[in-house]
Amino acid sequence: MNLFLKLYYRFLQTWSNATRERYARLVGVKLGKDCRLYSTNFGSEPYLIAIGDHVTVTKGVRFITHDGGLWVLRNEYPSADYIRPIIVYDNCFIGVNSIILPGVTIGPNAIIGAGSVVSRSIPPNCVAVGSPARVIGTLEKYRQHIYESFHTHHLKKSEKKDFLLKQFGVSPKEWLQFTLPVDRQWDRE
């Protein structure tokens, strides 16, 4: 990647969410209300992307509306393009470094796990992960998992740290002195 692109992407990371939203709309993304955009990588046809209300697009997410693999067949089909829209319905979460491929629809209330490659549409109220992404559960099952989890979002950073270290059986003072156990089995071969 050339220096200009590195600087450009670094610059985009400093934008506020409102600025990222304005940029998305400026390039043609149809964007709903109350979205959190941590990525602005909308590919070469951003005007073919529709994102509903209350959607989170985390860092590193890429929307790809066309299939560049046609290059292999370019001599045979000089004017062919495989281009499809991408639609993300309301109240979705797309995890870090996920890739959304052409023609995908992500149903309302869906969660896409980090690093997923979404090559097929995801139904509503589902959790999908992997490469290629596949449905691994329902939103209701995820809700139960969250219900049984820690509720620390309201805590200050230092309070959260102390709480979590205590939950995992380490006092903050012990954590400062923690060292990894030396296990060098890989050196014995």
Q: Convert the pLDDT of each residue in 59-68 to its tens digit.
A: 999 999 999 8
Q: Convert the pLDDT of each residue in 88-104 to its tens digit.
A: 999 999 999 999 999 99
Please give the full DSSP string across 68-122, using - where no structure is assigned: GGGGGGTTTSTT---B--EEE-SS-EE-TT-EE-TT-EE-TT-EE-TT-EE-S-B
Any residues with CB less than 8 A from the CB of 137 and at least 6 apart, and which? Answer: 126, 127
Tell me, what's the pLDDT at 17? 87
Element (H, E) at 18: helix 17-26
- Which portions of the chain are predicted below pLDDT 50? 186-189
Element (H, E) at 7: helix 3-13
- pTM score, whole prediction: 0.79
Q: Which two tokens stand for residue 47?
A: 């005007």
